[in-house]
């Protein structure tokens, strides 16, 4: 049995931050019912990789979830939602603040029909404040949060991270907040309103750099792959043209590193005897590392560093990641399979929990596939068919036109 079995989540999320939040809950047993607007559904049902009319983007973020279609502007369909909410543990949404209120859905409304409900909103800047109603995507939140200002080559232009760190950080924080609310509701009988800001999630991600600025007032700039508090941290080119990423920070790590490369004089150099001094004299440190690396191939250096348990990493592209022995051992990619057999290989869950068998294949739901089954659990079947059959017909027509 998975730890979240018996928990029902109503999922109004779309695109990335919200779907990552609900994906984590679904992976560990929660029944996640994704509510999509007919006739097109979540925007990621489009995308660059489409096979047999099905989307890889959608499968990556929404595998394992059920899909229902619902037009919240229709009073009868909204009533079906409220009946479902009365029998659910949480509602999660990531619309621009104020959107759900336009549908007449607020925490106060849901609290009256289900006191234990947890209502989680994930947004760019939070539900209140001068930026609350700004539209936000990952790149713009990276810019506003300061992450871009410290990312990129030294002296170069600020650069966003290649991964969608604002979306994912916000989604994971939203997942934690939802679980906190559910645990508290089980204990007290009363749910919580959870307000998650993607921007604040990225502020937390920068806690060390921000804390230094708040103390000394010195605005940090991009440093490429370097880190200003220690050295050598960064990528260094080996004799065979292959770079290796180093992260040598503590004095114990520096000792192991010097011994691995057979450079005992580094341990006697007065500029290298502490982490702070190595940071202050980083150019001298890096020049020495570059000198030694230029004489050795990457395989030799990696073997030396591994033997002394020095901290390093190869700079892998996606081909190398797909073939990576650790990724293969952990079965880090799983299959998301649509009912017709169309399958996409997608990233799996990073958590392994004792007593929970790691799942390698997940159901991927066509748009609206679970609509009738879900709503007949809370309403009369004839009523559900009368209300929803015309909507599902519109969805089917739209899907045929897209194929």
138 flagged as catalytic: no
Say how far apart CA 182 and CA 180 lie, in whole Å: 6
The pLDDT score that the predictor gives to residue 262 is: 98
The whole-model pTM stands at 0.94
The pLDDT score that the predictor gives to residue 107 is: 97
Question: What is the chain's pLDDT, residue by residue, as a tens digit (403 residues)?
Answer: 899 999 999 999 999 999 999 999 999 999 999 999 999 999 999 877 999 999 999 999 999 999 999 999 999 999 999 999 999 999 999 999 999 999 999 999 999 999 999 999 999 999 999 999 999 999 999 999 999 999 999 999 999 999 999 999 999 999 999 999 999 999 999 999 999 999 999 999 999 899 999 999 999 999 899 988 899 999 999 999 999 999 999 999 999 999 999 999 999 999 999 999 999 999 999 999 999 999 999 999 999 999 999 999 999 999 999 999 999 999 999 999 999 999 999 999 999 999 999 999 999 999 999 999 999 999 999 999 999 999 999 999 988 877 6
Q: Which of 105, 137, 115, 112 shows the shortest CA–CA distance to 124?
A: 137
Q: Are 14 and 65 in contact (CB under 8 A)?
A: no
The pLDDT score that the predictor gives to residue 403 is: 66
Which residues are registered as beta bridge partners of 123?
Answer: 197
Q: What is the CA radius of gyration of the chain?
A: 25
Instruction: Give the number of C-alpha atoms closer than 13 A to the C-alpha of residue 186, restricted to the C-beta side.
Output: 10
SS3 category, 366: coil
Which residues are registered as beta bridge partners of 334?
Answer: 346
Residue identified by tokens 């109603």 is 133
Residue identified by tokens 């901290």 is 311
The pLDDT score that the predictor gives to residue 149 is: 96
Q: How many CB atoms lie within 10 A of CB 174?
A: 31
Q: Nearest 5°: phi and psi at 83?
A: -65, -40
CA dihedral in degrees (366, 70, 167, 311; nearest 10)? -40
The pLDDT score that the predictor gives to residue 398 is: 85
SS3 category, 389: helix
Selecting among 11, 27, 89, 167, the annotated active-site residue is 167
The tokens for 149 are 């200002």
For the four alpha carbons of 251, 256, 259 and 263, in that order, the dihedral sign comes to negative
């Amino acid at each position: 049995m998975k730890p979240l079995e018996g928990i029902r989540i109503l999922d109004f999320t779309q695109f990335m931050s919200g779907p990552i939040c609900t994906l984590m809950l679904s992976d560990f047993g929660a029944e996640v019912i994704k509510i999509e607007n007919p006739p097109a559904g979540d925007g990621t049902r489009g995308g660059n990789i489409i096979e047999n009319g099905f989307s890889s983007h959608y499968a990556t973020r929404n595998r394992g979830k059920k899909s229902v279609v619902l037009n919240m502007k229709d009073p009868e369909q909204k009533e079906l939602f409220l009946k479902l909410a009365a029998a659910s543990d949480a509602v999660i949404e990531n619309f621009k603040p104020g959107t759900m209120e336009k549908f007449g859905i607020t925490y106060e409304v849901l609290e009256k029909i289900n006191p234990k409900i947890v209502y989680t909103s994930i947004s760019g800047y939070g539900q209140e404040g001068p930026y609350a109603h700004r539209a936000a995507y990952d790149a713009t939140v990276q810019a506003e949060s300061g992450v871009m200002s410290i990312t990129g080559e030294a002296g170069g232009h600020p650069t966003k991270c290649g991964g969608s760190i604002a979306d994912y950080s916000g989604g994971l924080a939203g997942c934690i907040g939802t679980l906190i609310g559910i645990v508290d509701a089980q204990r007290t009988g009363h749910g919580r309103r959870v307000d998650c800001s993607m921007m604040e999630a990225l502020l937390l991600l920068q806690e060390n750099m921000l804390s230094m600025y708040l103390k000394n007032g010195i605005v940090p700039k991009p440093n490429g792959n370097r880190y200003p508090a220690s050295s050598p941290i960064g990528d260094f080119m080996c004799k065979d043209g292959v770079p290796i990423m180093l992260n040598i920070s503590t004095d114990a790590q520096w000792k192991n590193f010097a011994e691995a490369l057979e450079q005992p004089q580094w341990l006697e150099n007065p500029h290298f005897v502490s982490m702070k001094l190595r940071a202050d004299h980083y150019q001298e440190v890096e020049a020495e590392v570059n000198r030694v690396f230029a004489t050795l191939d990457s395989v030799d250096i990696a073997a030396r560093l591994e033997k002394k348990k020095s901290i390093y990493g190869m700079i892998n592209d996606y081909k190398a990641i797909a073939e990576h022995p650790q990724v293969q051992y952990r079965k880090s990619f799983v299959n998301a399979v649509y009912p017709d057999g169309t399958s996409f290989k997608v990233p799996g869950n990073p958590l392994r929990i004792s007593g929970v068998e790691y799942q390698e294949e997940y159901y991927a739901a066509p748009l609206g596939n679970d609509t009738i089954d879900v709503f007949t659990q809370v309403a009369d079947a004839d009523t559900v068919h009368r209300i929803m059959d015309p909507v599902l017909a519109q969805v089917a027509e739209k899907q045929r036109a897209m194929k």
